[in-house]
Amino acid sequence: MNTDSLFRPFSLKSLNIKNRIVMAPMTRSFSPNGVPTSDVALYYRKRAEGEVGLILSEGTVINRPSSSNDANVPHFYGTEALAGWQQVINNVHEAGGAMGPQIWHMGVMDNHASGWVPPVPFEGPSGINRPGNNNGKTMTESDIADVIAAFGQAAADAKQLGFDCVEIHGAHGYLIDQFFWEGTNLRTDSYGGKTLPERSRFAIEVIKEVRKRVGDDFAVIIRLSQFKPAAYDNKLAATPQEMEAWLTPLADAGIDIFHCSQRRFWEPEFNDSDLNFAGWAKKLTGKATITVGSVGLSGDFFGAFAGESSQASSLDELLRRYDRGDFDLVAVGRALLSDPQWTKKVHQGHNEQLKGFSPAALGQLVME
């Protein structure tokens, strides 16, 4: 297996990275009261030392009283939390890496198992996080305007702290995705609608505000998924035409890179072609894309949450698609959560040393 092509540099605006390996954003809940600790900084530094090209942070929440359901998820606002992030990016840069925060509003959530709840009710397009499950309030237009401004402020702060790019979390059933999905967006005003392009208005306004706050030269990524945790097989866009009608306005609003979340990168997005989500997004928009989903592992990440282990697996199929030009970057989640040296081992061809993934790794910040 020759992985040389994955170790070519990539540049786009503010983003200059030494290879094509991206650490996927992974919530770790090790930031008490929302403040990333020195251990969190060291955890990311170790991945940069292990040759990851671009690190995307765990989801880090914007300045809204109910943007999070977990007291240990990091904030991306407030003096203390931003000082914590300053330590993170300084460490990553010292180790030769690049990084962007994944800015996040969870939207309407189930209550966290810890029992912690935010000071005000969760908020979303229609107060539900899946059909029939009301656990929050329906956002007013003024709530929407405030959330858009908070996304913009977080992006501006990312640039100010020296991050290399920013990623907007628009996937996995959280706030932005709650607007996209007809199952959670029942609005009858101009933020709702029968079609996906109509329900994309909120995302487009978030992207425009982010772009306005960071300027033209700062790389802006959006993470999207067709699936929802409440609907694994969901397709927001059921055809390439629908996908084009969804993604083109997002690109026009200011997106540079589409981060196309799948559980298994090898699964075709539509019939009659083996292209995956990232492959289609690149073909339809001409933008750079990131693929993700069980890279180098035998089982997927929902299995991990159900306590399943995964073994290291071949990168041949990934390389076949990458070398064909389907996508520009490759995000790796659990393999890097468990092993900071994963990228270096792949680069040096030490495949026999790849560890796979064990759920025990979720309970700690693995440093070695």
Ligand X SMILES: Cc1cc2nc3c(=O)[nH]c(=O)nc-3n(C[C@H](O)[C@H](O)[C@H](O)COP(=O)(O)O)c2cc1C
Q: Tell me which residues are annotated as active site.
A: 174
CB of 336 to ligand X, least distance (A): 8
Interatomic CA distance for residues 74 and 176, integer angstroms: 19
Tokens for 118, please give them: 């935010």
126: its two tokens: 């229609």
Dist. CA 101–CA 85, nearest whole Å = 9
Q: Which stretches of 69-212 are assigned E, i.e. beta strand?
A: 98-104, 122-124, 128-130, 133-134, 136-138, 165-169
Report the alpha-carbon distance of residue 191 to residue 185 in Å, rounded: 8
Cβ contacts of 119 within 8 Å, gap of 6 or more: 65, 66
CB 150 within 8 A of CB 139: no
Closest approach of Cβ 330 to ligand X, in Å?
Answer: 9
Kindly determine how many residues on this chain lie close enough to bind ligand X according to the rule CB under 6 A.
25
Residues of span 4-63 touching ligand X by CB under 6 A: 24-27, 58-59
Whichever of 184 and 187 has its CB closer to ligand X, that residue is 184
Give first-to-last CA distance, the chain, whole Å.
25
Task: Find the shortest distance in angstroms from Cβ 27 to ligand X.
Answer: 4
Q: Show the site string, 199-238: x = touches ligand X by CB under 6 A, - = not.
A: ------------------------x---------------
Query: What's the CA gap between 75 and 64, in Å, rounded?
Result: 10
Between 59 and 84, name the residue whose CB sits nearer to ligand X. 59
Check residue 362 for interaction with ligand X (CB under 6 A).
Answer: yes
Task: Return the closest-CA partner of residue 226 out of 206, 242, 212, 213.
Answer: 242
Binding track, positions 301-320, relative to ligand X; x by CB under 6 A: x--x----------------
Please state, in angstroms and as integers, the Cα–Cα distance from residue 83 to each residue in 38, 49, 70, 95, following that order: 11, 22, 20, 19
Figure out which of the listed residues 63, 334, 345, 346 binds ligand X, where binding follows CB under 6 A: 334
Using the rule CB under 6 A, is 172 a contact of ligand X?
Answer: yes
Binding to ligand X by residue 361, rule CB under 6 A?
A: no
Determine if 260 is a binding residue for ligand X (CB under 6 A): no
Residue 171 within binding range of ligand X, rule CB under 6 A:
yes
> Is residue 276 at the binding interface for ligand X, with CB under 6 A as the rule?
no
Pick the closer one to ligand X by CB: 25 or 187: 25
* Contact between 124 and ligand X per CB under 6 A: no
Closest CA to 173 of 235, 130, 216: 130
- Contacts (CB under 6 A) with ligand X, residues 89-108: 102
Q: Tell whether residue 75 is a contact of ligand X (CB under 6 A).
A: no
Between 196 and 295, whose beta carbon lies closer to ligand X? Answer: 295
Number of neighbouring beta carbons within 10 Å of residue 65: 10
Verify binding: residue 293, ligand X, rule CB under 6 A.
Answer: yes
Q: Residues interacting with ligand X, by CB under 6 A?
A: 24-27, 58-59, 102, 169, 171-172, 223, 261, 292-295, 297, 300-301, 304, 332-335, 362
